[in-house]
Amino acid sequence: MITEIALLKIRGNESKAFEKSFEIAQKIIAGMNGYINHELQKCLEEEDKYMLIVRWEKLEDHTEGFRKSEEYQQWKKLLHHYYDPFPTVEHYKKIY
Amino acid sequence: MITEIALLKIRGNESKAFEKSFEIAQKIIAGMNGYINHELQKCLEEEDKYMLIVRWEKLEDHTEGFRKSEEYQQWKKLLHHYYDPFPTVEHYKKIY
């Protein structure tokens, strides 16, 4: 299992709209091959900041399967315009 | 439930030693009031980088209960010398 972690910074005053769009968008990733589960977490210390955590069976399920899919185009359309700056996405493997 | 997230950068060549110390240190947090669970995740893209995720019943279980405890002094002694720079710790609440 691989954990994808993205720190999302949302344009000012768009957090509520982002959450609504994410509610729809999350159904897209949840249907992808290799998807295990996800969480959208909102930062308590900083406004308009979220952490997206997605668990995938293997790295390529995200980097190849999802990112090169038709569904990714819908995901992008729903969410990418909220981000400023565009987020860095990293992958992690569980040690403990 | 609150999720504590800390991005940990470890001094060069000390990652293996850090993991061994963490194996001991994790028993300290696991015994604290309000502790739910934790994960130590290692970054695939960047050397010597980890994400520590700890779930607490409420914010104060971490910021007050743990940080002001005797046990925190042991945790600190075991782990803090590995970090460079000293990590920023943030708290998140689950949206989805």
**Which among B52, B21, B19 is positioned nearest to B35, based on CA atoms?**
B52
What does the mean pLDDT of chain A come to?
Answer: 97
**Which among B10, B18, B27, B25 is positioned nearest to B86, based on CA atoms?**
B10
Which residues on B lie below 8 Å from A23 (Cβ)? Answer: 96
| Cβ-defined contact of A92 to B51 (cutoff 8 Å) | yes
- CB of A6 closer than 8 Å to CB of B51: no
Q: How much is the pTM?
A: 0.94
Which residues on B lie below 8 Å from A91 (Cβ)? Answer: 43-45
**Of all helices (H) and strands (E), which one includes residue B20?**
helix B15-30
pLDDT in tens, A3-44: 999 999 999 989 999 999 999 999 999 999 999 999 999 999
CATH number for the region A1-56 comes to: 3.30.70.100
Which residues on B lie below 8 Å from A59 (Cβ)? Answer: 44
ipTM surpassing 0.90: yes
For A26, name the nearest residue in chain B, comparing CA atoms only: B96
Sign of CA dihedral A58, A59, A62, A67: negative
The pLDDT score that the predictor gives to residue A15 is 97
For B26, name the nearest residue in chain A, comparing CA atoms only: A96
Task: Say which residue the tokens 């493997």 belong to.
Answer: A93
Choose, out of A22, A92, A93, the residue to mutate when testing the contact with B (most B CBs < 10 Å): A92
Residue B73 makes CB contacts below 8 A (sequence gap 6+) with none
| Cβ-defined contact of B46 to A90 (cutoff 8 Å) | yes
**Tens-of-pLDDT digits for all 96 residues of chain B?**
999 999 999 999 899 999 999 999 999 999 999 999 999 999 999 999 999 999 999 999 999 999 999 999 999 999 999 999 999 999 999 999
| Cβ-defined contact of B96 to A40 (cutoff 8 Å) | yes
A92 → closest Cβ in B26, B43, B90:
B43
CATH number for the region B2-92 comes to: 3.30.70.100
| Cβ-defined contact of A44 to B91 (cutoff 8 Å) | yes
Which residues on B lie below 8 Å from A39 (Cβ)? Answer: 3, 94, 96
